[in-house]
Structure 1
């Protein structure tokens, strides 16, 4: 792959990322309560990162899933008391999603549940190596996110 424009390089990059995603998803889902998937956790995590008050449509666009799929996920999260749906003051026809204290606590507990499982990781892949990867992965995420428009 000496040609810098060879798409196989980028395919290989995305292939590795995809495999890592599959392996990490399986690891994480094995530690989540029955009936809770990484996709459910991801909504809570997204809201912690970007803030409350998103509409279901905003969330479905962010996760690139149909609004009906996001509505189903939000119903599950609301049933578990991890989110609260409130009327949207800017558009009375829609609602906004707000994390509850229980939702924030569940997110922290779920991350904590991984601690024991990942205790070996710093020996195999140092914190410095992990930290060195983050800026480029974040940049790649941002570039891809901008292009999906």
Structure 2
């Protein structure tokens, strides 16, 4: 691959990383004391993908070791945002279920993001973002699959 193409792909991934870093910092300063973006991410994942995932499934989805995910889930459970229930398909494991408080935690965090969304909307109106999203989703899906295929 020519170096200018390598530079383009790297710049694209680098920009996404910076956007993630800025967004993470913005969100984390607005979360209740003792909660991190990792907590928000797990709750959002359970809402977006599926409630009732096992800790191992969540660890794989977030590409973290199972003990790290267990620690994150313990924090969520301590705050009453998730419940750990026996897995009916495998009695040795548990499933993670959101509580009403967990859904409210996510909703409250999103409300605190509204000032950022409003400021972004001045330069990037919702219709422009909606046009970009399918390409980003396709890129993320392929990027994730390639990551898994080249490990």
Structure 2 equivalent of residue 38 of structure 1 = 37
For structure 2, list consecutive stretches of 5 or more residues without a partner in the other structure: none
Matches within 5 A, 1:74-93: 74-93=73-92
| Counterparts of 2:61 and 2:131, CA distance in 1 | 26
Structure 2 equivalent of residue 29 of structure 1 = 28
Aligned residues: CA RMSD? 1.4
Q: How many residues align?
A: 147
Decide whether aligned partners of structure 1 residues 5 and 88 sit closer, same or farther in structure 2, where only a CA change above 3 A counts: farther
For structure 1, list consecutive stretches of 5 or more residues without a partner in the other structure: none
| Counterparts of 2:107 and 2:79, CA distance in 1 | 15
Alpha-carbon offset, residue 117 of structure 1: 3.7
Alpha-carbon offset, residue 6 of structure 1: 2.0
Structure 2 equivalent of residue 9 of structure 1 = 8
Q: Which runs of 4+ in 1 moved over 3 A?
A: none
Structure 2 equivalent of residue 141 of structure 1 = 140
Greater alpha carbon shift after TM alignment, 28-37 vs 9-18:
28-37
1:89 counterpart SS class: coil
Matches within 5 A, 1:113-128: 113-128=112-127
Post-superposition Cα deviations, 1:36-83, rounded to whole Å, max 9, x if no partner, equal: 111110000000011111000000000000000000000000000000
Greater alpha carbon shift after TM alignment, 7-16 vs 110-119:
110-119
1:119 counterpart SS class: helix
| Counterparts of 2:147 and 2:5, CA distance in 1 | 22
| Counterparts of 1:138 and 1:27, CA distance in 2 | 22
Post-superposition Cα deviations, 1:56-113, rounded to whole Å, max 9, x if no partner, equal: 0000000000000000000000000000000011111110000001101111111011
